[in-house]
């Protein structure tokens, strides 16, 4: 039996109690599944390095290189991200640059197409762009317009810090004719921002939460 998914890929106490009462599953099996899920997320956190004052002073950079270097950790990361999706999108949209890593693997896993949100000057015309502020300067994203207006996408990036990049990405996708159904990140730096609501009213969801 599949265990229901939650916003942050964890199972809370209330859900566990409901499962015990309403589903024919042994308590020992349920506790094993909960422990396995928590253990997986704790293990993934061990593959994330923190680099203080890089690329600028005051920035605590999260390095996912150890995740990518370990096939099992990366596979679990992609499975966890895919499990956060609550509908059937037409495409996965990845944000330049590390968002491409997760988005491309997720698109392949789900057997759907991938959309690129590239940094300024990287896409040939015709294209649509947007300029935005992020935690250490200005940046720009650009995208190809939707071939079919209303194409449903899931936005993917590696990390959520101030939320500037994801907010700009959502606005750009809508401007280009896409419908953003979900916005997912691998890591959410929860102490840097308050709850973020994007321009279309959706919340950013995450697989891993770090201080």
Q: Is 149 a catalytic residue?
A: no
Q: How far apart are CA 175 and CA 77, in angstroms?
A: 30
The one catalytic residue in 88, 108, 133, 135 is 135
Q: How many other C-beta atoms lie within 10 A of the C-beta of residue 75?
A: 12
The one catalytic residue in 15, 98, 109, 152 is 98
With a CB cutoff of 8 Å and minimum separation 6, the contacts of 128 are: 142, 143, 144, 145, 172, 175, 176
Q: Is 118 a catalytic residue?
A: no
Helix H or strand E encompassing 184: strand 178-189
CA atoms 11, 93, 165, 43: torsion sign: positive
- Catalytic residue numbers read 98, 135
């Amino acid at each position: 039996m599949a265990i229901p998914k939650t916003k942050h890929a964890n199972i809370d106490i209330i859900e566990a109690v409901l499962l015990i009462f309403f589903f024919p599953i042994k308590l020992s099996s349920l506790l094993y599944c909960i422990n396995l899920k928590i253990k997986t997320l704790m293990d993934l956190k061990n593959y994330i390095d923190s680099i203080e004052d890089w690329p600028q002073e005051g920035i605590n950079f999260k390095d996912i290189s150890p995740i990518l270097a370990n096939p099992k950790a990366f596979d679990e990361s992609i499975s966890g991200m895919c499990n956060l999706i609550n509908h059937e999108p037409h495409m996965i949209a990845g944000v330049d640059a590390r968002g491409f890593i997760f988005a491309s693997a997720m698109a392949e896993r789900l057997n759907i197409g991938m959309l690129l949100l590239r940094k300024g000057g990287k896409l040939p015309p015709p294209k649509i762009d947007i300029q935005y502020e992020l935690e250490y300067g200005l940046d720009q994203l650009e995208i190809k317009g939707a071939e079919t207006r209303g194409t449903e996408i899931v936005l993917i990036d590696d990390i959520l810090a101030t939320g500037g990049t994801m907010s700009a990405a959502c606005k750009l996708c809508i401007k280009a004719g896409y419908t953003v159904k979900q916005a997912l990140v691998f890591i959410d730096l929860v102490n840097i921002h308050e709850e973020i609501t994007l321009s279309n009213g959706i919340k950013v969801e995450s697989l891993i939460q770090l201080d």
